[in-house]
Chains A and B, each alone.
Chain A
Amino acid sequence: MAYDLDFERPLADIEKRISQLQKRGERMRPDERAQVAELQQELARRTKELYAALTPWQRVQVARFRDRPYTNDYIKRMCDEYFELRGDRRFADDRAIQGGVASIGGQTVVLMGHQKGRDLKEREECNFGMAHPEGYRKALRLFRYAERFHLPVITLIDTTGAYPGLGDEERGISQAIAENLLVMAGLRTPIICIVIGEGGSGGALGIGVGDKVLMLENAVYTVAAPEAAASIIWRDNAFAPDAAQAMKITAPELLELGVVDSIIPEPVGGAHRDYQAAAESVKAAILRELADLKRLSTDALLDHRYQRFRVIGLQGITEVVGAAQK
């Protein structure tokens, strides 16, 4: 896989030198072979270094990268069996959120996620992962399904945001997301939410309320796209990198703020370098968290879930007794 991201230029240069040498194939001299080995080592080392020190804005590029594994790439590699459930039973089947009943490591689960689409045809079909009300209502149907059959829910979050269209407003996109927040908060079965790429605002949160919220190492989770925040607060969307920095959108920062519970490591150079390794990493995290959650009674589970969200933000509040008023 090529090194196509802007900040990967130095890596792309090394890779180019390697591939030029390798083009000689059988005619490669022993010293050239040694050089290739050396360059490959250097590439691995530099990749590791670069990815260990990504800026928030670079992480946004990785999280949005067109080669990044999407929900269906994970499903294919994590599940022994997957039976897709389609449609919201009200209006349509929104391909921007897909899901079904699945088996992961012997555990039956209800699994769903945003699907951005790989090629242009799939992207159009999935509306680039920007769901309509029907996507959230299909998710709601699957939550109920999971509760009915005592199956844990796994959600994979990867969206720029819910689609801001006229039809979406007419069919109540706000109501659809809001209802999911309420229902997920009280759903009587374990829920694990994983931000695998872009956690874009309300469209992400609409399938993002759970007992555990995890993030992949290079995923981002934002209240608003950095470009949008930059155009509002900086009055110029060229300041998106500054907004990305200021809003604290990366996994380590959100772990620190208590928004996420743990970080799922990615293969060196990002999840797109090795889909299989990325999927195994996510699968291991799911099975580990499930083992924990299954030990709790349903009431204890719901109490924990309530408290988990109840305390977010409290560290940012001070009480000024008697001040301000009068």
Chain B
Amino acid sequence: MKDESQPALTVAQTNGAHPDTVARALPDNLAVKCPNCRELLLGKDWEKNLKVCQKCGHHFRLSAPERIALLLDPDSFSEFASDLRSSDPLGFVARSGSYADKLVSEREKTGLNDAVVVGMGSIEGIRLALAVMDFRFIGGSMGSVVGEKLTQAIERAAAERAPLVIVSASGGARQQEGTISLMQMAKTSAALARLAEAGVLYVSLLTDPTTAGISASFAFLGDVILAEPGALIGFAGPRVIEQMMHQRLPKDVNTAEFVLKHGMIDGIAHRREVRATLARLLRLHSGGETLAGA
């Protein structure tokens, strides 16, 4: 099996992405400290290693544009629904400021209009619908825009009978949009019910973190579910569980390795291999002989 592609993370061909988010490449001399093993990593080497710690293998978070560049064939991505923005449906104001202002500053910070990027693209020539969440935008939280864009991506996959890949990176539903956010769990799951009925493959890739309203909806509905090593995955945060149960938890609770052990996912894919892994699976589901119509 060939894996000629080791894409760099510096360029993402996304319409909706700001240049600064894509190429916020650290200067060559800048060092990054690994939060896991505390090793000091040279920015240049770290980038080249796909933002994985060379010493301990810790996978740092990727932005949506970086992830898209990593996964897709170069220049194959065409984004849609990039111009959808939340108009703050509740008029939410907290002591620390208004949600409306927060949206403006998050947009400026990330160059994205909200916490997910969706579009069509290809992996080793196989066309697919892709949705990638971006943790930088209010913790990747799902409100009305994220729910709508995911639903559009799922509907596109069903309409074009193209496989769907969703990459999760989110702490859960967006509290500033209240119960509307909660309902996005139902909305995306309903769209996935139709995709399943249409017999179109859905691969869910869980990255750090995938929790709460995200894990309890579309993220755990994949026909195939993969995760990045070490990612936090679960319904509740370990601290919440400790408080509730009044006991210390083992260190691996709610990690990718934990959910694999408990039969909740199909495998763990190192970032270096994830594109090739997806390609293998997509190839199995495209073109080979099946019993359809038999």
A binding-site residues for B, Cβ under 8 Å: 162-166, 168-175, 177-179, 181-183, 185-186, 199, 201-202, 205-206, 208-209, 221-224, 229, 232-235, 239, 242-243, 246-249, 254, 257, 259, 305-306, 309-310, 312-326
The chain B residue with its CB closest to the CB of A178 is: B220
The chain A residue with its CB closest to the CB of B149 is: A317
Would you call B23 an interface residue if the criterion is a C-beta within 8 Å of the partner chain's C-beta atoms?
A: no
Contact present for A321 and B83 (CB under 8 Å)? yes
Task: Please measure, in the bound complex, the distance between the C-alpha atom of A181 and the C-alpha atom of B183, giving whole angstroms.
Answer: 10
Contact present for A174 and B180 (CB under 8 Å)? no
B101 CB to closest chain A CB (Å) equals: 13
Most chain A beta-carbon neighbours within 10 Å: one of B107, B194, B215, B253: B215
The residues of B that contact A316 with a CB separation of less than 8 Å are 86-90, 143-144, 177, 180
Q: A174-B216, A312-B187 are in contact. List 12 more A-B contacts (CB 8 A).
A: A171-B262, A173-B235, A185-B189, A206-B216, A224-B175, A247-B175, A310-B187, A313-B89, A319-B84, A320-B83, A322-B83, A324-B112
The residues of A that contact B143 with a CB separation of less than 8 Å are 313, 316
Would you call B37 an interface residue if the criterion is a C-beta within 8 Å of the partner chain's C-beta atoms?
A: no
The residues of A that contact B277 with a CB separation of less than 8 Å are none
The chain B residue with its CB closest to the CB of A229 is: B175
Q: Could you list 26 A-B pairs, sorted by A, with CB under 8 Å?
A: A166-B245, A166-B253, A174-B235, A175-B264, A178-B217, A182-B193, A182-B196, A201-B213, A202-B235, A222-B179, A223-B175, A223-B179, A224-B173, A249-B179, A305-B190, A312-B187, A314-B148, A315-B89, A316-B87, A317-B87, A317-B148, A318-B84, A318-B87, A319-B83, A324-B82, A326-B18
Total of A-B residue pairs, C-beta within 8 Å: 229
Most chain B beta-carbon neighbours within 10 Å: one of A178, A185, A235, A239: A178
Contact present for B181 and A223 (CB under 8 Å)? yes
A1 CB to closest chain B CB (Å) equals: 30
Contact present for B83 and A323 (CB under 8 Å)? yes
* Mask of B77-107 contacts with A, CB within 8 angstroms, 1/0: 0000011111111101111100000000001
Task: Please measure, in the bound complex, the distance between the C-alpha atom of A313 and the C-alpha atom of B212, giving whole angstroms.
Answer: 19
The chain B residue with its CB closest to the CB of A165 is: B245
- Interface pick from B4-12, B127-135, B236-244, B267-275: B236-244
Task: Please measure, in the bound complex, the distance between the C-alpha atom of A178 and the C-alpha atom of B234, giving whole angstroms.
Answer: 12
Task: Please measure, in the bound complex, the distance between the C-alpha atom of A41 and the C-alpha atom of B77, giving whole angstroms.
Answer: 71
* Mask of B48-84 contacts with A, CB within 8 angstroms, 1/0: 0000000000000000000000000000000000111
Would you call B176 an interface residue if the criterion is a C-beta within 8 Å of the partner chain's C-beta atoms?
A: yes
Contact present for B258 and A169 (CB under 8 Å)? yes
7 shortest interchain CB distances as A-B pairs: A316-B89, A313-B144, A164-B236, A185-B190, A181-B189, A174-B215, A247-B178
A223 CB to closest chain B CB (Å) equals: 4
Contact present for A312 and B234 (CB under 8 Å)? no
